[in-house]
Structure 1
Amino acid sequence: MILPPENRFLSPHTGWTRQHWEATADHVLDSVNPYWSPRCARIDLPGEPSRYGPISDGLEGFARTFLLAGFRVAGGGDPKLLERYAWGLAAGTDPHSPEAWPRPDQLGQAKVEAASIALVLQMTKPWLWDHLDDGVRDRVLGWLGTVVGQPYPPINWVWFRIVVESFLREAGGEWSVEDVEHDLALHASFRREGGWLSDGEERAFDHYTGWALHLYPSLWTHLFDVPDSLCSQETRQTWSDDLARYLEDAAALLGADGAPLMQGRSLTYRFAAAAPFWVGAITGVAEPGLVRRAASGVLRYFVDHGALEPDGLLRLGWHGSWPALRQAYSGPGSPYWASKGVLGLALPADHPVWTDVEQPLPVETHDFTRVITAPGWLVSARRCDGIVTTVNHGTDHALPGDQRADSPLYAKLGYSTATMPCATDNSVALVDPEGAASHRAGFRTLFVEELPGGVVAGASRGPVRWVDTSADDSPDHGSGRSGEIVEGPPVLVVSVVRDGVEIRIVRVDGDTDARLRLSGWPVAADLRPHAESLTGPEIVVTGARLRSSLCALRGFDLAGVDTESGSSPLGKFVAVPRLTTAGPVPRGEVLAAAVRLDRGCGAFTNPLFLPHGDEVVLRWSDGLDTRITLPNP
């Protein structure tokens, strides 16, 4: 791919302008051209099929690249980009065609792709819909119309039906006001504090909050003639206010290199993480220069790290191809939901989001800590290394009391913009005599709060368990696995974060014959990371300009490192530091460790850890005392 020269005057942080976005989008569209089916109803990309089969995957390739082509045309691109999609609409909706699409009432995945098709048809109406033959338009309305009255999962999918039925309403098709009202009510039930939305009733906080649950409502009211009887002005204002608040957090969660938080399912959608920022520009709730800085940072991060393969394709993975990142619904066309992140191309070239000077991200201006209440995250970032970390006391893709195993993409104690979760990182686990580790999903969040002196703190507690998941072969949709359970005691975990370090405090509130293991941040590198054990005990792992350290403050006897290979898209080897007790943990004993991730910049002295019964005092090197009262068992 040939990109234009950088422009460091207009874009001092990324160098990228609209021309870079156009070149990238055109390259992506050109690269899928060899994979069009003969009648253009599918784009049959190479790779292992999803659980829904190659026909569904081909429809997915069509619909998701249709998003990219639609954004490109809506913003002034060549309408000829839509020509093949017009042919595909004719063939895919013809039940007698050899390339007929499965209908949304026949295949659940078609409900997802129908929304992308309807959205682009609405957005590109003057260039595509208005020029289709009457017969093709009737067939498209008939195919889309099979969504009416169909069951939809009570998650972000509710917006797929709202978008489709809104297009049907305006294009003269059949639709159901009851469907739309039902789905809007479900969306309202997802709202949480601070502008966040959960992807369903569970504590499922991830990128879907931005690239689905904020994106569709804003585009719906922007693109469609939505009557007040369906969506009042008060509701629209609520959505706008929620988006503005959410984007403040979203900007704070981006690393200085543009990396999004590596947390949650569907990470193969990559630069779709830029989508909510573009929605902020479309609705006017976000500063244009910050929007482009955030969005260009995300796209450039993935382009620079090889997300586009040498043949120009997006394959399942994170940087480049990494099939292990797939979930049951992932097929060769799935990664092209990344097209959502190119939504900004639908805005004209003279829009302020393209003409204003880039503004810096929060991590580029100052060190900060931040509490994000809805997902229960303690956020910390330091300007010197550009990494953003979250300590997690509120998200597990479950509900309190859940008995499943931990989902590695949700239930860990930490996620960052520089590390991908692996098997053993960021956990507090009881390890039984056979070496099996306990799970914490289903915990209860006790508090997340800001304290004086730039300190943030959070706590969670719940009974742990050992889960034998060997018999659970259900599709992976991001949740933890089920199986035979051995109950364990309640475990309290408290985190206190300041200046990039987490003081992790643990208390086991029951009898156990298990040892306690506390693990830190994973370091992935193509060369085996270096591990150094120090007295204390303390363990430091370094590799690929990243350093992960654990220092025992109380109660831990041993330090070590777990190393594995072939388990991360960020490097060939992964090393995770750990601290363990030599024997079983006595009921009520308080243990603590300092947990840190950085790039080796700046010095830091761990605080003194001073326990006094149920109160703990952390005395920092500058003289600040932070007092934490441990919740009662």
Structure 2
Amino acid sequence: MQPYPTRPTSSTAVSDDWSRDDWTAFADRLLDGAMAWASPGRGRITPPGAAGGYGVDVDGLEGFARTFLLAGFRIAGERGEGVDHLIDFFSDGIRTGVDPDAPDRWVRLDEHPQAKVEAASLALILDLTRPWIWDRLDARTQDRVIAYLAPVVGDDTYPRTNWLWFRVVVQTFLRSVGGPWSADDITADLALHNSLAREDGWMSDGEERAFDHYVGWALHLYPVLWVRMSGAQELAGDRIAADVAALDRYLQDAIALVGADGSPLIQGRSLIYRFAAAAPFWAGAIAGVPSIPAGALRHAAARIVGHFAANDAPDDRDLLTMGWHSEWRALAQSYSGPASPYWAVKGLIGIALPADHPVWATPAEPLPIDGGDTLRAIAAPAWIVSATAADGIVRVVNHGTDKALPGTLVGESPLYARLGYSTATAPLLDERAWIDPLEQAVALVDADGTATHRSAIEPIGVRIDGQVGVGSSSWIAHTLAPGRSAGHGQGLAGEATPIARVTVHSVVRGPWEVRLVRVDPLEDGPDVDELTLRVGGWPVAGERVFAQTVEAAARAAAGDVTSIVRALGDEPADPRVVQRLDASPLGGFAAVPFVELDVAPGTWHALLLELTRTGAAIAELGSPTAELTGTEVAISWPDGLRTTTDLIHPRPAAPSGR
């Protein structure tokens, strides 16, 4: 693990930090835009757009609850002064929401499961703003709120994921106002949280290898907020220090995943929540984690939120749409509605800290990418992280995350199971991407064009070896007769046919990955000699794309981002570039370079993958070369460094966790 620099190590200026006034002005802009779409009784907020998968009634509750989060942060941060319009508006909405006869009442927890999610936001903010909202509600409304929330007690139908915190938060509030609650429920949920813990402070969002932004904006955020609720410390016991320590360790990795332009890693589901990715950094500031300066945490949050503010989120109506920058509905999950993106407001939780809180006076600190190149191995998701200061890109080479259970053969999810993700590229997400893995994929392709899938991955390991990152994984490559997905980002289910074992060994440095691929036949499997090995590079997208093939290399570019795949051996290679329309949230045109090779069973194929920005000095250095010698690969890097890495074919590691 590389230490986080506590002082600037380069001349990069910290010029994009936000003052508290900047934060509150941005929050007010979002609130004004959303509140304009309230129902007559203010119990529902439904921004314009097609109804979500759960219907307009759920959409309206979702809009109120998620906007109430932001209003609550704003009210608490001002200690209730100068925000009477927010107090009155949302108090009216609460009265209406719990009135069983109101036409814009809230969907109840026993009517639709999504209400259990939104109930946690309601309870959290009712506690946070207790002196200004809850204590001023009339007794009948208070009783109705308690009755509305009460079905959570004893409800064992909550998914065994980050949803555990929705039950804990609601019951903690109920306990504080004399409502029903269950100590057994809370004990069970906290035990479930502990069971999701993985190495180095990371959490998995369920029993699958599900590592994504939910680690930070849910599984690390809620423990920090919960323990500050009325009476929660009595329930927490001695776990508080352990939760903060886990958050602290996680943030040491998370802060290295923020691009120089403020973009978070474009990986995992629910990406329409955008700058919710800033939430764990505010959680660290609120909890007072010891390892990262508060100025760096605040600056990371500002860099992320500022990235989206500069890229049309919110739009010219001051609304958050379903998309990454501008609206692109294909990025949403099946359940997403027009108000779903407002969970992004978790990234603004810092405004709940009043103006006299020390975090606002602490000097801004640079982010890791501001201080130079970063190379890290993150054990839990089995990622090699390579960030380059010259072009500001953070890249992740993925050898262990797929949102699948170990041992299963399922479809490869573009959001989770590709071999690479970055802050400058997005996986393809058109319909074909779910059935035909291409970008950042290693697939075996038959004569009919049917490609194999990767999940479930069998991680072998990741490590830093001197000046290179090394990662390895293996899997049973299989074709799939696909069925339907649950719509939560995982790959398609379906009937799988095992084809061969594929092992990939990555040697990573700067913008480059030397990727070694080996295909081993399965006993009773098909003849792999008749298959083609396809290795796809980084996807690029924009208003225009450019493609080029030269000898054994394929190149694609969009805007200032360039992706190259090159075969490094002497074997014949067929380089190509595929272009797709409306397949990426980053632009209407997308392109993926790839190389096809004839399969040589039991031997290593060597390829180079590169991702850079045009004009960056690093892009002018040239490319690495590699020489395979038995069980080793010797790589000559453009700056003159030469490294040697073993290519012994190890057994995959057993799944980790506790």
Deviates more, 1:600-609 or 1:411-420: 600-609
Residue matched to 2:645: 627
Residue matched to 1:442: 456
**Letter paired with 2:36:** P
**Letter paired with 2:86:** L
**Shift of the alpha carbon at 1:113?**
0.2
Deviates more, 1:102-111 or 1:90-99: 90-99
Residue matched to 1:268: 272
Cα deviation code 1:358-416 (max 9, x no counterpart): 11110011112101110111000111111000000010001222211011100000000
Cα deviation code 1:451-493 (max 9, x no counterpart): 01x2111111011111122xx2443011111123222100001
- Counterparts of 2:33 and 2:578, CA distance in 1: 40
What SS does the corresponding residue of 1:32 show, helix, strand or coil? Answer: helix
Alpha-carbon spacing, 1:302–1:623, altered in 2? closer, same or farther (3 Å): closer
Residue matched to 1:108: 113
User: 1:616–1:630: 8 Å Cα contact kept in structure 2?
Assistant: no
**Shift of the alpha carbon at 1:16?**
2.3
Residue matched to 2:519: 508
Cα deviation code 1:262-289 (max 9, x no counterpart): 0000000001001011111111114221
**Shift of the alpha carbon at 1:530?**
1.7
> Which residue among 257, 262, 276 is the counterpart of 1:258?
262
Cα deviation code 1:301-336 (max 9, x no counterpart): 001000111111111111011111111120011000
**Letter paired with 1:321:** E
User: 2:451–2:479: 8 Å Cα contact kept in structure 1?
Assistant: yes
What SS does the corresponding residue of 1:264 show, helix, strand or coil? Answer: coil
User: 1:429–1:439: 8 Å Cα contact kept in structure 2?
Assistant: yes
- Counterparts of 2:480 and 2:648, CA distance in 1: 28
TM-score, L = length of structure 2: 0.91
**Shift of the alpha carbon at 1:434?**
0.7
**Shift of the alpha carbon at 1:605?**
4.2
Q: Superposed, which structure 2 residues align to 1:287-302 within 5 Å?
A: 287-302=293-308
Residue matched to 2:145: 140
**Letter paired with 1:89:** I
> Which residue among 624, 628, 634 is the counterpart of 1:611?
628
Residue matched to 1:13: 15
Q: Percent identity?
A: 47
What SS does the corresponding residue of 1:277 show, helix, strand or coil? Answer: helix
Alpha-carbon spacing, 1:301–1:117, altered in 2? closer, same or farther (3 Å): same
Does residue 1:499 correspond to 2:499, yes or no?
Answer: no
- Counterparts of 1:614 and 1:331, CA distance in 2: 52
**Shift of the alpha carbon at 1:92?**
1.3
Q: Superposed, which structure 2 residues align to 1:79-94 within 5 Å?
A: 79-94=84-99
> Which residue among 429, 454, 460 is the counterpart of 2:473?
460
User: 1:79–1:127: 8 Å Cα contact kept in structure 2?
Assistant: no
**Shift of the alpha carbon at 1:623?**
4.1
Residue matched to 2:252: 248
- Counterparts of 1:21 and 1:547, CA distance in 2: 34
Alpha-carbon spacing, 1:556–1:186, altered in 2? closer, same or farther (3 Å): farther
**Shift of the alpha carbon at 1:251?**
0.7
Alpha-carbon spacing, 1:556–1:212, altered in 2? closer, same or farther (3 Å): farther
User: 1:13–1:360: 8 Å Cα contact kept in structure 2?
Assistant: no
- Counterparts of 2:345 and 2:237, CA distance in 1: 30
Cα deviation code 1:571-607 (max 9, x no counterpart): 12111110001x4x12112101111101132233444
- Counterparts of 1:34 and 1:179, CA distance in 2: 38
Residue matched to 1:550: 565
**Shift of the alpha carbon at 1:445?**
0.2
Deviates more, 1:555-564 or 1:259-268: 555-564
**Shift of the alpha carbon at 1:611?**
2.0
What SS does the corresponding residue of 1:509 show, helix, strand or coil? Answer: strand
User: 1:13–1:293: 8 Å Cα contact kept in structure 2?
Assistant: no
What SS does the corresponding residue of 1:41 show, helix, strand or coil? Answer: coil
Where structure 2 has 5 or more consecutive residues not aligned to the other structure, the ranges are 1-12, 522-526, 652-658
Does residue 1:572 correspond to 2:578, yes or no?
Answer: no
What SS does the corresponding residue of 1:223 show, helix, strand or coil? Answer: coil
User: 2:17–2:364: 8 Å Cα contact kept in structure 1?
Assistant: no
Residue matched to 1:32: 34
**Letter paired with 1:440:** R
Residue matched to 2:538: 521
**Letter paired with 1:526:** E
Residue matched to 2:53: 51
What SS does the corresponding residue of 1:216 show, helix, strand or coil? Answer: helix
**Shift of the alpha carbon at 1:31?**
1.1
User: 1:13–1:358: 8 Å Cα contact kept in structure 2?
Assistant: no
Residue matched to 2:382: 376
Residue matched to 2:656: none
- Counterparts of 1:607 and 1:386, CA distance in 2: 20
User: 1:609–1:616: 8 Å Cα contact kept in structure 2?
Assistant: yes
Residue matched to 1:237: 241
Q: Superposed, which structure 2 residues align to 1:165-564 within 5 Å?
A: 165-228=171-234, 230-233=235-238, 235-285=239-289, 286-422=292-428, 423=433, 424-452=438-466, 454-469=467-482, 472-510=483-521, 511-512=527-528, 513-527=530-544, 529-535=545-551, 537-554=552-569, 555=571, 557-564=573-580
User: 1:493–1:506: 8 Å Cα contact kept in structure 2?
Assistant: yes
Cα deviation code 1:103-140 (max 9, x no counterpart): 21221000000000000001000110000001100100
User: 1:556–1:579: 8 Å Cα contact kept in structure 2?
Assistant: no
User: 2:634–2:642: 8 Å Cα contact kept in structure 1?
Assistant: no
- Counterparts of 2:298 and 2:32, CA distance in 1: 24
- Counterparts of 1:226 and 1:16, CA distance in 2: 32
User: 2:543–2:588: 8 Å Cα contact kept in structure 1?
Assistant: yes
- Counterparts of 1:347 and 1:618, CA distance in 2: 50
User: 2:17–2:303: 8 Å Cα contact kept in structure 1?
Assistant: no
User: 2:484–2:493: 8 Å Cα contact kept in structure 1?
Assistant: no
What SS does the corresponding residue of 1:222 show, helix, strand or coil? Answer: coil
Alpha-carbon spacing, 1:500–1:224, altered in 2? closer, same or farther (3 Å): farther
What SS does the corresponding residue of 2:227 show, helix, strand or coil? Answer: helix
- Counterparts of 1:13 and 1:192, CA distance in 2: 36
Cα deviation code 1:67-106 (max 9, x no counterpart): 0000001000513312121112112112222222222122
**Letter paired with 1:499:** G
State the number of aligned residues.
614
**Shift of the alpha carbon at 1:629?**
2.6
- Counterparts of 2:241 and 2:169, CA distance in 1: 19
- Counterparts of 1:518 and 1:375, CA distance in 2: 22
User: 2:516–2:604: 8 Å Cα contact kept in structure 1?
Assistant: yes
Aligned residues: CA RMSD:
1.5
What SS does the corresponding residue of 1:35 show, helix, strand or coil? Answer: coil
**Letter paired with 2:632:** E
- Counterparts of 1:459 and 1:45, CA distance in 2: 45
- Counterparts of 2:334 and 2:546, CA distance in 1: 35
TM-score, L = length of structure 1: 0.95
- Counterparts of 2:84 and 2:506, CA distance in 1: 54
